[in-house]
A = this chain, B = another copy of it.
């Protein structure tokens, strides 16, 4: 088994990792080039807030699929850039609701345009039904692995 050379480049994990880094890198560069001081991961948080302003960390964590430590730091970053504001809940002072500032709201159009453009380029020449099948497979893989996940919040 270990005599036949293992082909890293053909493995699912390798491909998925590279595509992930490539897309994130591309988008980060696009954001910066267009003058937006926002990272892709911060943008993901914004996406959720644009649709559900005032979400708590826990809700963001579940939606975006990151653990709570990551959310804390992403919101830190957004707050530092003045795009977002934390407010402790009145009923439950443990919960921090995340509110958008005017600056945070104003980024929506611009960032989404860049994202759509990048996504279009990434998927260029790939028929929709192949793309959908690929996504289905990825969702299935995610499900397969998630079963054996260390139980956490979310």
20 additional A-B residue pairs with CB within 8 Å, beyond A2-B108, A17-B20: A1-B116, A6-B51, A8-B44, A8-B63, A8-B64, A13-B20, A14-B44, A15-B139, A15-B142, A16-B16, A18-B142, A19-B138, A20-B20, A23-B141, A26-B145, A121-B148, A122-B141, A133-B133, A133-B134, A134-B138
10 shortest interchain CB distances as A-B pairs: A134-B137, A20-B20, A15-B138, A134-B134, A17-B20, A13-B23, A16-B20, A22-B145, A5-B51, A16-B19
Offer 29 A-B interface pairs, CB within 8 angstroms, sorted by A: A2-B108, A6-B112, A8-B47, A8-B48, A8-B64, A9-B63, A9-B65, A12-B23, A12-B135, A13-B24, A13-B27, A13-B122, A15-B142, A16-B20, A17-B20, A17-B23, A19-B141, A22-B146, A22-B149, A23-B141, A29-B150, A121-B148, A123-B141, A125-B144, A126-B140, A130-B136, A133-B133, A134-B137, A134-B138
